[in-house]
Chain A
Amino acid sequence: SQQGEEDPQALSIQEGENATMNCSYKTSINNLQWYRQNSGRGLVHLILIRSNEREKHSGRLRVTLDTSKKSSSLLITASRAADTASYFCATATYNTDKLIFGTGTRLQVFP
């Protein structure tokens, strides 16, 4: 990956359980975003957290950012089978608006 790694690479859980995905990056960032991708489909924006924020919530999603460790985590609470997808973190730096994606986590939620 151009920017960093996500772990785990794959995660299988039962409906109702929580799913936590981690992302590490290499450079200083302006913001970090999480995207979801169903197999073979386009990427859908989930949530954005700015470099001066430490935690953000959106529905069942909770994102944390630790700029000192250059890492972020995405927590999906009370998972559903429909949450099955790949999840990517992506970072934006200050001098450009392009996004650099991490390697992604494949989440499988079993009914």
Chain B
Amino acid sequence: AAGVIQSPRHLIKEKRETATLKCYPIPRHDTVYWYQQGPGQDPQFLISFYEKMQSDKGSIPDRFSAQQFSDYHSELNMSSLELGDSALYFCASSYSGFNTGELFFGEGSRLTVL
């Protein structure tokens, strides 16, 4: 079965640069979530989208923005990168119609800021 696809899997950037992460949800899933996980930390909710509209917002820095496109894929744009942005970024998807509450996670994009 198709899973959540994230790209790139690994990304190395310098401070003050910009990075874009992409997420392709499971087909028919209408909701996408972004999480940030620092080393040894729990995943922190950043932002979510339902049917291409922002549905919830968490601890996402103002330097970050995200959107969900007409094909339901989502992109997380990060600007003015800081050393503290180094983390695993996870995308998850779900289908609201199932009402099961389960999220399906991708393998993550590891961002390293030097």
A residues within 8 Å of B by Cβ?
1-2, 30-31, 33, 35, 40-45, 48, 88, 92, 96-104
Assuming the contacts A40-B110, A97-B31, A98-B33, asked whether A45 and B42 have C-beta atoms less than 8 A apart, the reply is no
Assuming the contacts A40-B88, A40-B110, A42-B90, asked whether A33 and B43 have C-beta atoms less than 8 A apart, the reply is no
B25 at the interface (CB under 8 A from A): no
Q: How large is the interface on B (under 10, 10 to 19, 20 to 34, 35 or more residues)?
A: 20 to 34
* Most chain A C-beta atoms within 10 Å of own C-beta, residue among B56, B103, B110: B103
Q: Is the CB of B107 within 8 A of A42?
A: yes
B44 at the interface (CB under 8 A from A): yes
Q: Mark B47-63, 1 if CB is under 8 A from A, else 0.
A: 01010000110110000
Q: Is the CB of B48 within 8 A of A97?
A: yes
Chain B positions within 8 Å of A41 at CB level: 107-108
B residues within 8 Å of A by Cβ?
4, 31, 33, 35, 42-45, 48, 50, 55-56, 58-59, 88, 90, 92, 94, 96, 100-108, 110
Q: Is the CB of A42 within 8 A of B106?
A: yes
